[in-house]
Amino acid sequence: MTRQLKLLEHALAGLLRRKYKNLSLLVVYAFTVATLGSVLFLTHALKAEAIGSLAEAPDLVVQRLVAGRHDLIPTDYVVSIRALPGVKKVTPRVWGYYYDALLRANFTLMGFSDEPQDLELLEGRLPGAPYECAVGNGVIEVFGAEIGDMLVLLDSREQNQLYEITGRFKAASSLLTNDLIVMQENTLRDFFAMDRKLATDIAVEVYNPREINTLAKKIRSHLPGTRPITRSEILHTYDTIFNWRSGMMLAVMVAALIAFCILAWDKATGISADEKREIGILKAVGWETADVLAVKFWEGLAISLSAFLIGLTAAWVHVFTLGAPALTPILKGWSVLFPTFALVPVVDLYQLFVLAFLTIAPYLACTLIPSWKAAVTDPEQVMRN
């Protein structure tokens, strides 16, 4: 252990003698790690938000398709679905999107007839009368409102409607309630001018989770023109979308990876004359080849590990403190119109291990190979060259 500590001390002293060269290398190295780390952190955090928001989602969501597009569904479909064996509960849902051109933000409006079980109030109460609403934290922040204030929304008839804010939601996933505005179902129907015999979709809960897919087939058979969507299908869609978008980002960043590889290869093939002379002197005074390689290993590990930790820290700050401003528009897509929400820090250790292996191992190899070639060469020849 003492021997290795002395070799490490010698390696650090060697790095300090070439501080400007190593510092420039460290900056490029850390930037590459930070770029890749930001994509991985943001993708995994968004996936975790999506999974959290769907934890209380219904087993099945039944939509109506017209010309291949989602359309309002008749509420009398509830009777046909409820009659199928294995169905526990059937609920027609009324909800929709509202874009505020002044704030340039997109909100989700949801109506309820019974108290929603999957939404928990942070403070206040649920709407108990027409022209009352409960909102998410993002809505509070964007409008600069508080409980008791009036919320002004433009309805489908282009008329301003005033709604008193009676409560504010909280949730395990900020993605679930951040942009949410909840009001009584009849109030929301009036806002959207929606027929009482229509709903946005129908939520279905089943007794046996293993029968979900079978029940979806029965609904499609009994009610042609409908599209039953299972919770697992929604989760798979989120996972596919985020993987695709992060893959696009990583593909764009191949240029940065190539630049880093060129830098590492240049270091491998272009070991300086001073470094060769230093290796030759060490060999001439009696150092073993293993000792020389140990010193170079510690040098490479010090630079690569420092760059990895600095880059990882920068990626963490970029994603979880600053909100990933460089990547959010691409990975969130149109949801960038939502009020901003803070991502919950979620780290995948397997991804960190892969990132560390792909960035640290190649650099160590590029450091040790030319050093080994110089170490096995005759010291006199090395010092003359």
Q: What is the pLDDT of residues 271-294, one digit of tens each?
A: 666 666 666 666 666 677 777 777
pLDDT digits (tens, 9 = 90+) for 248-262: 566 556 666 666 666
Comparing 266 with 326, the larger pLDDT belongs to 326
Strand 60-66 relative to strand 150-154, pairing: unpaired
Lowest mean pLDDT among 20-24, 135-139, 343-347: 343-347
The C-alpha atoms of residue 126 and residue 116 are separated, in whole angstroms, by 9
The C-alpha atoms of residue 99 and residue 338 are separated, in whole angstroms, by 9
User: CA quadruple 354, 358, 363, 365: dihedral positive or negative?
Assistant: positive
Comparing 9 with 75, the larger pLDDT belongs to 75
The confidence band for 21, taking pLDDT boundaries of 50, 70 and 90, is confident
Domain borders along the chain are 2-53+240-384, 73-199
The confidence band for 337, taking pLDDT boundaries of 50, 70 and 90, is very low
For residue 124, the cross-strand partners are: 167
Q: Is the pTM of this model over 0.75?
A: no
Q: In 3D, which of 280, 365, 286, 352 has the Cα closest to residue 316? A: 352
Mean pLDDT of the chain: 79
Q: Read off the pLDDT of each residue in 126-152 and give the average, rounded to a whole number.
A: 89
Q: In 3D, which of 90, 95, 49 has the Cα closest to residue 70? A: 95
> Which long-range contacts does 12-16 make (Cβ < 8 Å, 24+ apart)?
12/298, 12/299, 12/302, 14/278, 14/295, 14/299, 15/299, 15/302, 15/303
Is-contact 129 164, C-beta < 8 A?
no
- Percent with pLDDT over 90 in the chain: 25
pLDDT value at 189 more than 90: yes
Structure-block tokens of residue 146? 């508080």
Residue 239: the pLDDT is: 67
Structure-block tokens of residue 268? 């491998």
Q: Using H for helix, E for strand and C for coil, what is the string for the chain?
A: CHHHHHHHHHHHHHHHHCHHHHHHHHHHHHHHHHHHHHHHHHHHHHHHHHHHHCCCCCCEEEEEEECCEEECEECCHHHHHHCCCCEEEEEEEEEEEEEECCCCEEEEEEEECCCCCCCEEEEECCCCCCCEEEECHHHHHHHCCCCCCEEEEECCCCCEEEEEEEEEEECCCHHHHCCEEEEEHHHHHHHHCCCCCEECEEEEEECCHHHHHHHHHHHHHHCCCEEEEEHHHHHHHHHHHHHHHHHHHHHHCHHHHHHHHHHHHHHHHCCCHHHHHHHHHHHHCCCCHHHHHHHHHHHHHHHHHHHHHHHHHHHHHHHHHCCCCCCHHHHHHHHHHCCCCCCCCCCCHHHHHHHHHHHHHHHHHHHHHHHHHHHCCCHHHHHHC
Structure-block tokens of residue 312? 């990882």
The C-alpha atoms of residue 42 and residue 344 are separated, in whole angstroms, by 10
